[in-house]
Amino acid sequence: MARDLRICFVGDSFVAGVGDPLCYGWAGRLGVAAHADALPFTGYNLGVRRQTSADIAARWQAECAPRLPEGTEARVVFSFGVNDTVHEDDSPRVEPGASAANLTAMLAEADARGWPTLVVAPPPVDDDAHNARTARLDERFAEICAAARAPYVRVHHELRANEVWMREVRAGDGAHPSAGGYDAIAALILPAWREWLSR
């Protein structure tokens, strides 16, 4: 019987692939790579633009449950945080402690359901102060994932040093890259993705 692998990609506009003229985003690129590796799966992109970890925490289980029914090999990829660290009225949309608590809860809830998780770090934008806040959140997320034994893919610092990513972000809306940037982030995620799928 063929493997019934189903994966929900849960997160924000970067998960949705905003800015990508190919409409793949990094999640679609990972899917293409998996099929090329003879690891086909049914993928569900549940990225929503401008959503924070609080927004995602409130919706993710209700959206994943019908897509990941009993009897399937169900997995979840999470990625969020950039919107949490946006400053509105001189404070972040979500305080760092609350962001950390949201990720901790989501990982625990996924574990309770038997859904293995992979977490992708929040990427950089064209704003140094915003990036500094996101980099600090990235460190907290890495610690949480290590404690939960969930693979965590570090992309924030790597993409800040990536000429293609930063050039395309600046040429676009200041946050989202075009196709070349999504190629770059997918390449960073790919080794951890392949290892995770092989488990």
The 10s digit of each residue's pLDDT in 3-23 is 899 999 999 999 999 999 999
- Residue 83: give the domain boundaries: 5-197
Q: In what order do the strands lie in the sheet with 152-153?
A: 42-47, 5-11, 73-79, 117-120, 152-153
Q: Quick one: pLDDT at residue 2?
A: 73
- Count the Cβ atoms, other than its own, within 10 Å of residue 72: 13
Q: Quick one: pLDDT at residue 1?
A: 59
CA dist., res. 181 & res. 1, Å (int): 38
CA distances from 163 to 113, 134, 197 (A): 40, 19, 29
Q: Quick one: pLDDT at residue 3?
A: 85
CA dist., res. 60 & res. 66, Å (int): 11
How many domains is the chain partitioned into structurally? Answer: 1
- Count the Cβ atoms, other than its own, within 10 Å of residue 90: 5
Q: Which two structure tokens, joined as six digits, stand for 104?
A: 């901790």
Please tell me whether residue 121 adopts helix, strand or coil conformation.
Answer: coil
* Of 63, 75, 77, the residue nearest 27 (C-alpha): 77
- CATH number, domain of 90, equals 3.40.50.1110
Q: Quick one: pLDDT at residue 91?
A: 95
CA dist., res. 6 & res. 46, Å (int): 13
| Tens-level pLDDT at each residue, the chain (199 residues) | 578 999 999 999 999 999 999 999 999 999 999 999 999 999 999 999 999 999 999 999 999 999 999 999 999 999 999 999 999 999 999 999 999 999 999 999 999 999 999 999 999 999 999 999 999 999 999 999 999 999 999 999 999 999 999 999 999 999 999 999 999 999 999 999 999 999 9
CA dist., res. 82 & res. 35, Å (int): 29
Over its C-alpha atoms, the chain yields an Rg (Å, rounded) of 16
* Of 75, 78, 74, 88, the residue nearest 48 (C-alpha): 78
Q: Quick one: pLDDT at residue 75?
A: 98
